[in-house]
Amino acid sequence: MESNASEVALDLFPYLKVYKNGTLERIAGVEVVPPGLDPETNVLSKDIVIVPETGVSARIYRPNLISEDRKLPLVVYFHGGAFCVASPAFPPYHTSLNKLVAEANIIALSVDYRLVPEHPLPTAYEDSWVALQWIASHKDEDGNQEAWIKDYVGFEQVFLTGDSAGANIAHHLALRIKESNLGQKLKILGIGMIHPYFWGTSPIGPELNDRSRKELVDKWWLYVCPTDKGCDDPLINPFVDGESADLAGLACDRILIIVAEKDILKGRGWLYYDKLVKSGWKGKAEIMETEGEDHVFHIFNPDCDNANRLTKRLASFFNQGKLPFQLKCESEVLG
């Protein structure tokens, strides 16, 4: 029989367990794979330290065959995991980034922000902001000197991209850029939001008919952000007052939102799209729904047809529509 100390106090399925003695056991996202040359995609990767004092780091990717006289788009990627699990070295994320870089012919930098509960929110947002500042510093003569960024990145073609919690981070950073001087160094062309993690106390869409999953997502957020605002904290609910005026301040020209038919978060993605096109934002909004799939299916089943289509759609987005693609199983609305 378990002692009281080893009894589970909180089970945040499928991410982690908290025991009564205060210890934490992460169940998901704990495996790691080293960087290097991926023989399947011919993509190179390496780990870099961004802030030695805090340990904030990233995994950077580039095509193995690359010309120094052509600057490539930079995709700054923020992984998912409800702010409390996973990393760029988690094998499904590493595989996904290799495939994306190969398909789109881009440079990608996957940020290893610090996780809840050891580092409470808004640490993940701050770490991700620092990563953007670090990237921008490469434009300064006396700035950082990471060769893959200095030699290959086009600073006028930067994209913020993430899945789930990472898409949430991308949204908040794009709002913050508008109020800073960072936009003078980095031109954020677009945001790729894959199955974005937004939420709210009052159910909408598929949440109305799936009380058990609604309660589960409620529990996740209340754990990672235990404030008196609950699931209507502005970090997770950008429309808490029914307003969308802030979206007009998003510092980018194009936004692609990708949702999945069976995802409990789908309604929030569609709400974001609807609010965005009505907000007065001057950019181009696109939304794509993948039929028959659930949350971040492409991460855990990267070789399926729908995952390949999703990757091609993102690649097209990063390359301003230059890459051909077909959408056979997705419902797509172009704003």
CB atoms within 10 A of CB 263: 22
Interatomic CA distance for residues 309 and 328, integer angstroms: 9
263 is catalytic: yes
- 151 catalytic? Reply is no
What share of residues in the chain are helix, strand, coil (percent, to 5)? Answer: 35, 25, 40
What H or E segment, with its residue span, contains residue 19?
strand 16-19
Q: Of the listed 119, 164, 172, 195, which one is catalytic?
A: 164
**Gap between the Cα atoms of 77 and 311, Å rounded:** 14
**Residues with Cβ within 8 Å of residue 76, at least 6 apart in sequence:** 108, 109, 111, 131, 132, 135, 158, 159, 160, 161
One-letter amino acid of 26: R
Which of these, 303, 123, 126, lies nearest to 224 by C-alpha position? 123
Catalytic annotation present for 279: no
DSSP state of 115: -
Catalytic residue among 112, 127, 233, 263: 263
> Which alpha helices (DSSP H) does the chain contain, by range?
91-104, 123-136, 147-152, 165-178, 211-224, 266-278, 297-300, 305-318
Of these residues, 138, 172, 195, 295, which one is catalytic? 295
* Closest-CA residue to 260 (of 322, 313, 320): 313
Instruction: Write out the catalytic residue numbers.
Output: 164, 263, 295
